[in-house]
Structure 1
Amino acid sequence: MRALDAPANVGDWLSYSRGWDEQRHSPLTQINEGNVGQLGLAWYDDLGTFRGVQASPLVIDGVLYNESIFNVVTAYDATNGKKLWTYDPKVDSKWARLACCGPSSRGIAAWHGKLYVGALDGRVIAIDQKDGHEVWSTATFDEAKAPYSITGAPRVYDGKVVIGNGGADYGSRGFVIALDAETGKKAWKFYLVPGDPSKGPDGEASDEALAKALPTWSGKFWEAGGGGNAWDSFAYDPDTRTVIVGTGNGSPHMWHFRSEGKGDNLFLCSMLALDIDTGKYKWHYQEVPEEDWDYTCTQPILLADIPIDGKTRKVAMQAPKNGFFYVVDRTNGQLISAKSYVSINTWASHVDMATGRPVLVEGAHNTATPHLMSPSWLAAHTWHPMSYDPKTGLVYFSAQEQGSIYARAEDGKYKYTPGPGRSNSGQDFGSQPELRRELQSKANATEKGYLLAWDPRAQTEAWRVPYAHPGSGGVLTTASGLLVQGTIDKTLAIYRDSDGKKLWEMNIDQAPVAGPITYMVDGVQYIAINAGWGGSPVYNLGPFQTATAKLLVFKLGGTATLPPMTAVKTDLPAPPPLRASEAQVAEGRELYGENCSRCHGGNAVGGVKDLRFMTADTHREFADIVLGGKLSAIGMASFKGQLSESQVEAIHAFLIARGNEDYRDATAR
C-alpha cells in the first residue's frame, strides 16, 4: 500500500477509499473537464434488489470485485462486465432484520491474493482472489451472547484484518478485533467501553485503557452493553503503525439510563488510536462526552498532511453526526480546531479550545419532555465516504440538516430487554402527541441536503451545491479536478472541485449512497458506482420510486444504455378508517419507534417504504408480512418471536392513524 501510486498500481483501487489514509482521491486524469461531456455508460450489472447497496468495489489487475447485499461477492472483467466468479457466504435472511439498517455492507478488503469479507453474521471470511473459493472463516462474535452485526468494510493493514461491529442500538458492548490475514487467528481485541467491573479485566489489549475509562461511567452501565460499537470508520498511518478508530453511540442511547446521567462515558463517540501490532491504546479525543443523542463518530476519518499557521501538521479529520468538523493531530490526539458545518446546531454552540469539550446549548440533554434536536440521529453527515484533494486543500462530503424529536422515557418505564433486533434506546416515542406534531412540522420545514466543500485549515465553507432533499451519497475526487457524486435526484453528477460548477450529469433512475471509485485498465479510465438507494428517512421526499440496484461503470465514449424503469401507479391509496382505541395507537407508536423507525422513518415518514399509505392488500396481509415473513425474499424479514400478534395489531393501528393524519396533505401535492 506504500507503493499505491507506483506504475503497476496507480490504475487500481486497492482498498475501501483507495489508500489507508481514506482520502478517496485518484491521480488519474484521462477523464477531465475538457472531455467529461463524452462520458457514457460502458457496462452495468443488475444486482436484482431494491435494497440499499453501499459497497465500494475494488479493482486489481483488471478485475473488479464487488459486494452486494448479504455479502455476495462477484468478480468481473473490469473492461466489459463479464462475470468471472461469485462467492455467496450464505448469510441467513433473518439478518435483514437483525442488522440495524438492513442486509447491505460497505465493501471488502484485499491483501496478497486474498479478499476479505466482513459478513453480517459476524464471520470474517478470506476468499481466493482468483476463483473465489473460501480459504478461512473466523467468527468474531457469538450471536447468542449479544446482538452484534458487521456492516462496515474490513481493512487490512500490514497483514492484519481489522473490523468492528454494530449493535449499540440493541444493547451490546462494542469492540475492534484484528485477525492475522493469512490464518484468520486473533491478533488482538480492544473493547471500546468497560465491562462489569466485578468480573475483573477481560484479558485483552484494552484492559489498561479501560481501567482508566471506568471512572467516567456510573451505575450498572454494563447491563445493556454500554455501546461504542465501531461499525464503520478506520484509518491507518503506516509510519507510526497507528490505527485510528471512530467509535459509536451509547447503549442505551439515553445517558440518564445508561450511566445515571453522570460521566463522560469513555470511549463513546471518539477518535481512538491503537497500535496495529498489539492493539494497545495510544491516544483518544472524545468528540461527544455525555453522549445522549445517538451521535456516532463512526463517520469517515481522513488522514492528510496540511499546512496550518505556517507549519505542516499530520492530521486526522472527521465530520461526524454532531455537525462539527474536527481537525486533530494524529500523532497525539491534540485538538487543532473544530467548527460547526451546519446552520442549525441545537446540541452545542461551539467547542472550547482550552478544554476540547463541546459547550452544550441549554436544554440539549434529554428529559421526559419532547424536544427537537438538530443535528439528530439522522446525522449532519453520515457514513457516506468523503474525499480530500491535496491540490485544492478542500474536503468534500454530503451534508444534511434533519431535526428529530427526542425524549427519554419516564423513570420506571424503561427496562433493558435483551435479544437480537430489539431496540433498547431508552427513548419515549409516544408522549405528548400534539407537541410532537408541532415539533415535527418545524423539522420538516428546516430539512435540507447539500454537497459541501470544506476548508479544514480555515474551518470555513468553500462552496456548496444544494439539493432538494437530503440523501445524496459518497464522493470521489481526481487529479484532473473532478468531483463525482450520486445524487438524491437519481443521477450521477460530476462537478469541478475548485468551485462546484456542474460539468456532467446522467439520469440513472437510482439515488446512489455508496462512494464512487475510478480505475484504469489497458490505458482506459473508468468510473464505477453501486447505485442502490438505502432509504434513509427523508421527511419531505414523498413517494420515491427507483429502479433495481445496479453496478454502473462509465468511460469516455461509452454507449451502453439502461433499461427503462417500470412505471408504477403514483396515486396514493387512501388509508382505511381508524377503528382502534387511542391507547392501542399509543402502544403502536412506541413499538413502531423501537422496532420499525430505523428502516421506515421516524413517525412513519420516509424510509425504505412509506407505511402511511399501504395498499388494501398490504393492510390485509400486514400480520403475514410482519410475523409470517411473506416479503422476506425482498428483505422484510419476519419479526416472529420478537413481536406478538397484539403488538403487531397495535403497530398497524398506529400506521392507519398516521395515514389518516397525513393523507389529505400528501394527495394535495
Structure 2
Amino acid sequence: MTIRRVLATAAMSALWLSACGNPADEPTTPETPAGTETSPEKGAAAVDDERLLNAAATPEEWLTYNGTYDEQRHSTLTGITKENISELAPAWTYDLKTGRGMESTPIVVDGVMYLTSSWSVVYALDPVTGEELWVHDPDVDRAVGVKACCDVVNRGVAVYDGKVYVGVIDGRLQALDAKTGEVVWSKVTVDQSKPYTITGAPRIVKGNVLIGNGGAELGVRGYLSAYDAETGDLSWRFYTVPNPNKEPDGAASDAIFAELANDTWGDDGAWVTDGGGGTVWDSIVYDTVNDQVIFGVGNGSPWNADLRDPSSDGDNLFVSSMVAVDADTGEYNWHFQTTPRDNWDYTATQHIMLADLPLGPDGETRRVAMQAPKNGFFYVVDAKTGEFISGEPYSTLNWAEGLDETGRPIENPEARNNDPATYNGFIQVPAPYGAHNWHPMAMNPDLGLVYIPAMTIGQAYITDPRFKSKPAKWNTGMDFSAGMPLRYPAGTVQALRAAATGTLVAWDPVKQEARWTVEHTAAWNGGLLSTASGLVFQGKLDGSLIAYDAATGEQLWSAQLNSGALSGPSTFEIDGEQYVTITTGWGHAFGLAAGMMFKDAVPPAVGKVVTFKLGGEATIPPLDTSLLVNPEPKAEAFGDEEMLQAGLVHFSRNCAVCHGMLGISSGVLPDLRWSSYTASEEAWKGVVIDGNLNDIGMVSFADVLTPEDAEAIRAYVVTQAHMKEAQAEMGGNDGGGQ
C-alpha cells in the first residue's frame, strides 16, 4: 500500500466520538453583581422581534449566533482599527467548567455575555470583567457522548424575551431565565433511544425557537423543529427525508414529500431501517425579506449510497441540500441540492448567509443565499426561489469536473467506485472533513468579500465489507481500516501532516473567484469575524488569533491563546470600548481523530473565554503541562500477525475516531498507547467490554466487540507504543500525541 493511499484512507477516520470528559462543576446562581448593566427597565435579555430585526443597527451588542438575521458575521464597530490594533491585548480570561472542543460564539446583550461549553453547559458572564454571574449545567449523562459524531460540542445559545435557549447534547431544548440561569421549560426534541444529538445554536424566528439535530453517522432521520419560545410547545416540524413507509407524518413536510421527495428514494436498503440521515445540525437562517427560513441539510445515512438506497439511483432528497420553508408554518418553499445522492458525507449544513448583490440580469441588486458546503463549490442562489445563479470551486477538489447550468455537479466517474475489488487508488478531495466544515464564514459587504476557512484533505472511499444495518454505533458503510498499515513506515505521520492544509480565502461571490488567500500550515482552522474598520479575525490550529487586512490579507496582529482557537469570534462595545472575544479549547472531530496531525498545535487545555480590548492589561494563563502524560508502554508487546491485523481493523472501526488514527491521540482523549489499562487483559476487558468507565463516558463496546476482539485491540495499541519507542531511539519519532 502506498503512502499516498494511506494518507487518504487515514483521513476517513474523521467523525465520531466515544465521550470521555471531566464532569462540569455544579451550577451556581449568584445575585447579579453591582455595577453589571442588565437594562433594569427591560430586564435581562429583553430581546424581542424588533431588536432581532434591527440587530445591525445596534453593533455594540451581538444578538444572535452569526450577529444578525443575514448571518454575515460583520460588525460596523470601528473602535479597533488597522492603525491602533497593535494596542489590542487581553482584557480578561475565564476558565470554563469543562474541557474538550469549544465551538460557541458568545452572545452579548443588555450588559451580559452568554455562551456555552462542551457538554452544553451555559454561562452568563460580565462582559467587561469576566466575572461569573451564573452557570447552568444540564447534567448530561456522559454515556450520551458515544452518540456524538464530532465531540460533545455546542455552538452557542439564543436569547429572547428574558430567556436563554440552549440545545443540549442529549436532545433536550431548554429555556433558562436570563437573570438566574434557572430552567423555565425543557423539552425533549428527539427519540432519546436513538443516537440523536444537538450541537448547533438555536435561532429565534417570530416567537419560535428553531432547532435541528445530529446523528446521521450513527443512523437517524433528520428534521428541523420550531417550538413556541414562551411555552415550549411544538409549532411545526419539517422532516428532511421520508419515513420508511413513505407515509405522511402529520408534519409540515408531508405535502412536498408526496409530491416530490418520496420518488427520489427506493423502497429498500439501509435507509429504511437506519433513518436515512439528513440531519439539520448547524445552519438555520431567517430571510426577513421573503419571510422564510433557509436551513442546511446534512449527509445521508449511511454515507454509502449503494448501501443506503440500492434499488434506485434517485437523488435522495433532501440530503445535502439548502431548503427554504415558510417561517410561520414550516411548509416547503424551495430547495437546492448541492450534492445529489450524496455518497461522501458532503453535508450542506455549513454556514448559509444572505446578501443583496448586483446579480440581476441588468446588474440590479438581487437578494441571494450563499454557501460554501463541504463539497468544495461556492454556491450563490436566488433567496426567493432557490434558482441557481452561479457556483465555482473555492478549494481544491477532484470528485467533480464542474457544475452544469442548473448547478448540478458533473461528477468524476471515479468518485463512485467504492468497490474494494475494483478500487484503483483514486484519492478523492475533499475528504469527509470537507473543504469547509462548521467553522463560520464572515462577509465584508463594503468590500463585497466572503471569508472562508477552507482546507484540503484527501480520502479513499471504500465500501465496508463488514457493514450491517442498524449497528450499535458507527454507520457510514465505508471501511475505516482500508489501506491502514499494520506498522506505519517512518515518515507516515509527517506525510499526513503535509497532506492536510488550510487556507483563508477572500472570495468574491459576484465574480466567483478568490481575491486573495492566506495559506496555513495545517487544516481545521477557526471561524471568522469581519469589522467595518477593514479587519478580519481568525483563530488557527496552532492556538493563535490573528487579525488580517480585509482588503489584502496582510497580517496585522496576532496573539497566542494557549489553547485551540477554532470558535467564531464576536465583538461588542460597552462604555465606548470595543471588545473582541473568543472561546478556546481542544477537541472537535479533527482534534479527536487526527491527533498525529497536531505537531504545530498547542496541547489540550481547559477551555477558556478570552476577551481583548485596546490597552488590555490581563495575561493569558500558560499551558497546564500537568495534563500531559508519560509516553511509556505499560505492557510488553504481544500477539502474532493475525491477532495484530485483527486489532488494527477493530481499532480503526471502533476506536480511531476518538483516540486517533494509527493509535496516536492528540491528548484530548486518552492516548491508548500509554493507558494504564493496557497493562493486563483483565483491566482492558473491564473498560472495553464490561464498561467500568461508563460513568465518565467510556461506554462498553460489548455490543460490537467480543472479548477476543478487545484483546486484539490491546495487542495492536501496545505494539504501536513500542513502535514509537523504537522510532524515537532511532531519531525518527513519528508519534504526535501527548
What is the TM-score normalised by the length of structure 1? Answer: 0.92
Q: CA deviation at 1:627?
A: 5.1
Q: CA deviation at 1:3?
A: 1.5
Give the corresponding residue for 2:399. 347
Give the Cα separation in 2 of the matches to 1:440 and 1:170: 30
**In the alignment, residue 226 of structure 1 is paired with which amino acid?**
G
Alignment map for 1:332-481 (pairs within 5 Å): 332-343=385-396, 345-353=397-405, 355-365=406-416, 366-368=418-420, 369=423, 371-410=426-465, 413-419=466-472, 422-431=473-482, 433=484, 445-481=498-534
Alignment map for 1:200-599 (pairs within 5 Å): 200-211=247-258, 212-218=260-266, 219-220=268-269, 221-260=271-310, 262-308=313-359, 310-343=363-396, 345-353=397-405, 355-365=406-416, 366-368=418-420, 369=423, 371-410=426-465, 413-419=466-472, 422-431=473-482, 433=484, 445-535=498-588, 536=590, 537-538=593-594, 540-542=597-599, 544-567=602-625, 572-573=631-632, 578-599=637-658
Q: Indicate conservation of the 8 Å contact 1:26/1:479, yes or no.
A: yes
Residues 500-546 of structure 1, C-alpha deviation per residue, up to 9 Å, x if partnerless?
A: 11111111111211100001112111111001122514453348514
Give the Cα separation in 1 of the matches to 2:503 and 2:695: 34
Give the Cα separation in 1 of the matches to 2:663 and 2:496: 14
Q: CA deviation at 1:237?
A: 0.4
Summarize the Cα distance change of 1:660–1:338 in structure 2 as closer, same or farther, 3 Å threshold.
Answer: farther
Alignment map for 1:29-178 (pairs within 5 Å): 29-144=78-193, 146-178=194-226
Summarize the Cα distance change of 1:29–1:133 in structure 2 as closer, same or farther, 3 Å threshold.
Answer: same
Give the Cα separation in 2 of the matches to 1:435 and 1:82: 51
Q: Indicate conservation of the 8 Å contact 1:575/1:663, yes or no.
A: no
Summarize the Cα distance change of 1:31–1:637 in structure 2 as closer, same or farther, 3 Å threshold.
Answer: farther
Give the Cα separation in 1 of the matches to 2:693 and 2:519: 36
Give the Cα separation in 1 of the matches to 2:400 and 2:503: 21
Give the Cα separation in 1 of the matches to 2:726 and 2:389: 51
Summarize the Cα distance change of 1:57–1:488 in structure 2 as closer, same or farther, 3 Å threshold.
Answer: same
Q: Indicate conservation of the 8 Å contact 1:532/1:548, yes or no.
A: yes
Q: Indicate conservation of the 8 Å contact 1:519/1:527, yes or no.
A: yes
Q: CA deviation at 1:642?
A: 5.6
Q: CA deviation at 1:429?
A: 2.9
Give the Cα separation in 1 of the matches to 2:238 and 2:692: 40
Which has the higher mean CA deviation after the structures are superposed, 595-604 or 79-88? 595-604
Give the Cα separation in 1 of the matches to 2:695 and 2:622: 24
Q: Indicate conservation of the 8 Å contact 2:689/2:702, yes or no.
A: yes
Residues 180-210 of structure 1, C-alpha deviation per residue, up to 9 Å, x if partnerless?
A: 1111000111110011226x21111111112
Q: Indicate conservation of the 8 Å contact 2:564/2:602, yes or no.
A: no
Q: Indicate conservation of the 8 Å contact 1:371/1:407, yes or no.
A: no
Q: CA deviation at 1:167?
A: 0.7
Give the corresponding residue for 1:617. 676
3-state SS of 2:537 partner: strand
**In the alignment, residue 250 of structure 2 is paired with which amino acid?**
G
3-state SS of 1:53 partner: coil
Give the Cα separation in 2 of the matches to 1:527 and 1:608: 29
Q: CA deviation at 1:253?
A: 1.1
Give the Cα separation in 2 of the matches to 1:74 and 1:432: 44
Residues 325-351 of structure 1, C-alpha deviation per residue, up to 9 Å, x if partnerless?
A: 1111111111111111223x1211111
Q: Which has the higher contact order (CA 8 A, sep 6+)?
A: 2
Structure number having the greater strand percentage: 1
Is 1:191 matched up with 2:239?
yes
Q: CA deviation at 1:285?
A: 0.6
Q: Indicate conservation of the 8 Å contact 1:541/1:606, yes or no.
A: no
Identity %: 41
Give the Cα separation in 1 of the matches to 2:678 and 2:327: 53
Q: Indicate conservation of the 8 Å contact 2:563/2:602, yes or no.
A: no
Give the Cα separation in 2 of the matches to 1:324 and 1:604: 33
Give the Cα separation in 2 of the matches to 1:435 and 1:357: 40
3-state SS of 2:293 partner: strand
**In the alignment, residue 240 of structure 1 is paired with which amino acid?**
N
**In the alignment, residue 208 of structure 1 is paired with which amino acid?**
A
Q: Indicate conservation of the 8 Å contact 1:49/1:634, yes or no.
A: no
Give the Cα separation in 1 of the matches to 2:137 and 2:540: 30
Summarize the Cα distance change of 1:350–1:174 in structure 2 as closer, same or farther, 3 Å threshold.
Answer: same
Q: Indicate conservation of the 8 Å contact 1:106/1:153, yes or no.
A: yes
Give the Cα separation in 1 of the matches to 2:486 and 2:692: 36
Give the Cα separation in 2 of the matches to 1:563 and 1:249: 40
**In the alignment, residue 152 of structure 1 is paired with which amino acid?**
G
Give the Cα separation in 2 of the matches to 1:222 and 1:27: 49
Q: CA deviation at 1:320?
A: 1.0
Which has the higher mean CA deviation after the structures are superposed, 639-648 or 298-307? 639-648
The root-mean-square deviation of aligned C-alpha atoms, in Å, is 2.6
Residues 386-434 of structure 1, C-alpha deviation per residue, up to 9 Å, x if partnerless?
A: 1011011111121111112320024xx4211344xx0111122334556
Summarize the Cα distance change of 1:216–1:328 in structure 2 as closer, same or farther, 3 Å threshold.
Answer: same
Summarize the Cα distance change of 1:317–1:663 in structure 2 as closer, same or farther, 3 Å threshold.
Answer: farther
Q: Indicate conservation of the 8 Å contact 1:171/1:227, yes or no.
A: yes
Give the Cα separation in 1 of the matches to 2:93 and 2:198: 27
Q: Indicate conservation of the 8 Å contact 2:603/2:666, yes or no.
A: no
Q: Indicate conservation of the 8 Å contact 2:455/2:502, yes or no.
A: yes
Alignment map for 1:583-662 (pairs within 5 Å): 583-604=642-663, 607=666, 609=668, 614-615=673-674, 617=676, 619-620=678-679, 622-626=684-688, 636=698, 639=701, 643-659=705-721
Residues 4-27 of structure 1, C-alpha deviation per residue, up to 9 Å, x if partnerless?
A: 133xx3311110011111111111
Summarize the Cα distance change of 1:149–1:490 in structure 2 as closer, same or farther, 3 Å threshold.
Answer: same
